[in-house]
Amino acid sequence: MGNRIFLAGASGAIGRRLTPLLLGAGHYVVGTTRSEARANELRVLGAAAMVVDVFDAPALSRAFESAWPDIVIHQLTDLPKDLDPNKMGNAIVRNARVREEGTRNLVRCAIATGVRRLVAQSIAWAYAPGSEPHAESDPPDTEAQGDRGITIRGIIALEDRTLKSPPLEGVVLRYGQLYGPGTHAARPSSSATMPIHVDAAALAALLAVDHGQSGAFNIAEPNIHVATEKARTQLQWTADFRIPA
């Protein structure tokens, strides 16, 4: 029997690929978005959809009480289409707020409604400089400044909330640089040091629903910068997964 899944950020790049995977695995999916038009797109896919802002704590609480989920998957971001460089400065600040305040609100609602497991999106390029490939136990770059510092402070807040909020079982997926349908790149860019296809990223979230112990997992194609053995072993994940066209 499937789980009741609360998919926050269901209309994002990973969320749109993840929703049909969850439904195909027999789960009931309640997907959130901030747009009624995108909510209708989720309904076409077969999910129940709610228009809710993660910063509106009372509305989010009502959404949880209506959905009463077993599992929460946090795929919320706030980045501009195609990662427009002219808009990234403000977007980095907004995205950090999603990771800090948004994650806090999700965790509070999850605990209040008896959610068992929280699976959250993080990034694989937040490690402090040091020996590579980085294992999941390596520390984050807390000395980072500027935009990178803003991003990493947001990541630390997200991961702490996810992994240190008992009785929730927290799972953090540290994704590499996304490419594929619905992302800013059809194929890995020349600057992508740890690429990951969006379908393989979605697969990791699907598997994390009922595989693996609480903790962090690097999710990327084989590369020299981060180790991915833990995801392949505990989650039974593979980087070459693609959703059939």
Give the pLDDT confidence score for residue 89 in this predicted structure: 66
Please check whether residue 66 lies inside any domain of the structure. Answer: yes
Please check whether residue 195 lies inside any domain of the structure. Answer: yes
How far apart, in whole angstroms, are the C-alpha atoms of residue 213 and residue 81? 34
The least confident of 22-31, 80-89, 99-108, 109-118 is: 80-89
Question: Is residue 52 a contact partner of residue 9, using CB atoms and an 8 Å limit?
Answer: no
With CA atoms as reference, report the closest residue to 149 among 138, 141, 159: 141
With CA atoms as reference, report the closest residue to 106 among 92, 117, 95: 117
Residue with tokens 């296809």: 197
What does the pLDDT average to over 106-126? 98
Q: Is the pLDDT of residue 146 over 70?
A: yes
Give the pLDDT confidence score for residue 82 in this predicted structure: 59
Give the pLDDT confidence score for residue 1 in this predicted structure: 73
Give the pLDDT confidence score for residue 184 in this predicted structure: 86
Band of the pLDDT at 78, cuts 50, 70, 90? confident
Q: Which residues, including other chains, have CB under 8 Å from residue 51's CB and lie 6 or more apart?
A: 32, 33, 34, 35, 36, 39
How far apart, in whole angstroms, are the C-alpha atoms of residue 101 and residue 108? 11
Q: How many domains in the chain?
A: 1
3-state secondary structure of 54: coil
> What value does the mean pLDDT of the chain take?
95
Tens digits of residue pLDDT in 209-228: 999 999 999 999 999 999 99
Please check whether residue 245 lies inside any domain of the structure. Answer: no
Please check whether residue 239 lies inside any domain of the structure. Answer: no
Q: What percent of the chain shows pLDDT beyond 70?
A: 96
Please check whether residue 241 lies inside any domain of the structure. Answer: no
Residue with tokens 């594929």: 180
Q: Is the pLDDT of residue 84 over 70?
A: no
What does the pLDDT average to over 23-46? 96
Residue with tokens 């996304």: 178
Q: Is the pLDDT of residue 87 over 70?
A: no
The least confident of 34-38, 123-127, 220-224 is: 34-38
Please check whether residue 189 lies inside any domain of the structure. Answer: yes
Check which CATH number belongs to the domain holding 35 and give it: 3.40.50.720
Please check whether residue 194 lies inside any domain of the structure. Answer: yes
Query: Residue 147: which domain range?
Result: 4-234
> Where do runs of H (alpha helix) occur along the chain?
13-24, 36-45, 57-67, 88-97, 103-112, 146-163, 198-208, 229-234
Please check whether residue 217 lies inside any domain of the structure. Answer: yes
Strand duo 177-179 + 195-197: pairing = parallel
Question: Is residue 42 a contact partner of residue 65, using CB atoms and an 8 Å limit?
Answer: no
